[in-house]
Amino acid sequence: MKLPFSNKSIPGLIGIDISSSAVKMIELDQDESHRYKIAHYAIESLPRDAVVDGNIIQLDIVIDAVRRGLRRIGSRTKLAALAMPSAAVITKKILAPAELGEDDLEIQVETEATQYIPFPLDEINLDFQIIGPSAGNPDELEILIAASRKEKIEDRVAIAEGAGIRPTIMDVEQYALQASCSEIRKAWSKEVTAETIALVDIGATLSHLIVLHKDEIVYTREQAFGGDLLTQEIASRYEMSLEEAELAKKHNDLPSDYDIEIFEPFRETLVQEILRLLQFFYSSTHFNKVDHIILAGGGCLLQDLSKKVMEATGVITELANPFTLMTTGPKIKASQFQQDAPMLLVACGLALRKFHP
């Protein structure tokens, strides 16, 4: 299996995002007007420690979650696109002579890869994508190399196959997020001229910053901070198990002092963590501002978080929704989907590979 690029057309495809807290899947189609249509989607929770830092720890449990999701969506599609965590993939842009044929280009890529990848080639899956002519020299091609350890990829392949679905694409999470971000931009009015966009994906254990300038990724960084810390605070304060605390958080079934004593301090800490991520970006690059902030992931659903981030940064901030211009199938409950949309960016980006293989 190639990582992460495939050039074959795909008749049907389900995007499957395996995160530390849930399996999220979505299938997109097109309506009569050739607009994207949300055909099916599902989110299946995972127990703690099933997936840790992107590593599959309890394979059978994750397979069961994927099976449940597939049963729920009821799709006839048996092809899937999955993604590797960005931290598990080494990417590098290289230059190669434009006149090279396909075979010679593959040899060139392998030769270059040995310089940048600290593993033997027989232990990795390697692929490349031609980006286009080099900006500095039209006689050279700019090429993106991507590589990951075989065992990491094989775990995700085993999950898909164990659930009865065939993985046809293995992508990288940051590129799936980039594709979803492009859909978000399409919904903006022509007056919005944001060139530099900060996408902050707040997961259960990690927050991931991706900065795009003119639709190209120029910076990425992960921070060990996520929604699980709020769950741990609740469990400690009210002497609950982590499972009980998670349920209480989801159903807003907590004592009267929760908002002032736990929720508001946590939200303020999260805002400060986002500011830290942005400061790392500014100090590591020639950029000194972003024009727009998009919040994604389950952690962004905290009440008024986007408002607080906007107040702290002075930058327009919104919750991620790449589905604004899409139509919905008859099985989609609009109100619930609207709430779930910020958690579906990776799955959406993967599902879009059906149209942009």
The full set of domain ranges for the chain reads 88-150, 188-320
pLDDT for the residue numbered 117: 84
Residue 328 has pLDDT above 80, yes or no: yes
pLDDT band at 7 (very low <50, low <70, confident <90, very high): very low
Give yes or no for a contact between 92 and 126, defined as CB atoms under 8 angstroms apart.
Answer: no
Pure H helices in the chain: 59-73, 102-116, 150-162, 173-186, 228-238, 242-251, 258, 264-284, 305-313, 334-340, 345-351
* 51 confidence band (pLDDT: 50, 70, 90): very high
Pairwise pLDDT comparison (283 vs 53), residue with the higher score: 283
Give the confidence band of 9 by pLDDT, cuts at 50, 70, 90: very low
What is the per-residue pLDDT for 92? 87
**The CATH number of domain 88-150 is 3.40.50.720:** no
Handedness of CA 276, 281, 286, 289 (dihedral sign): negative
Res 357: pLDDT: 64
Chain segment 263-306, per-residue pLDDT in tens: 999 999 999 999 999 999 999 999 999 999 999 999 999 999 99
Task: State the pTM of this model.
Answer: 0.90
The answer to whether 17 touches 350, Cβ cutoff 8 Å, is yes
Provide the pLDDT for residue 1.
Answer: 46
Q: Identify the residue whose tokens are 């990776």.
A: 346
pLDDT greater than 80 at residue 75: yes
Question: CA quadruple 319, 273, 253, 51: dihedral positive or negative?
Answer: positive
For residue 133, the number of C-alpha atoms closer than 13 Å in the C-beta half-sphere is 6
In this predicted structure, the answer to whether residue 230 has a pLDDT above a threshold of 50 is yes
Alpha-carbon gap, residue 282 to 292, rounded angstroms = 14
pLDDT of residue 114: 84
Whether 349 has a pLDDT exceeding 90, the answer reads yes
Average pLDDT estimate for 321-345: 92
The one-letter code for the residue type at 20 is S
Q: Kind of pairing, strands 140-149 and 51-52?
A: unpaired
Token representation of residue 132: 């286009």
The rounded radius of gyration (Å) of the Cα atoms in the chain is 21
CATH number of 188-320: 3.30.420.40
Report which of 45, 102, 122, 39 is spatially closest to residue 75, judged by C-alpha positions: 39
Chain-wide mean pLDDT for the chain?
A: 91
- pLDDT tens figures, 126-179: 888 888 888 888 888 888 889 999 999 999 999 999 999 999 999 999 999 999
The CA distance from 210 to 294, in Å, is 10
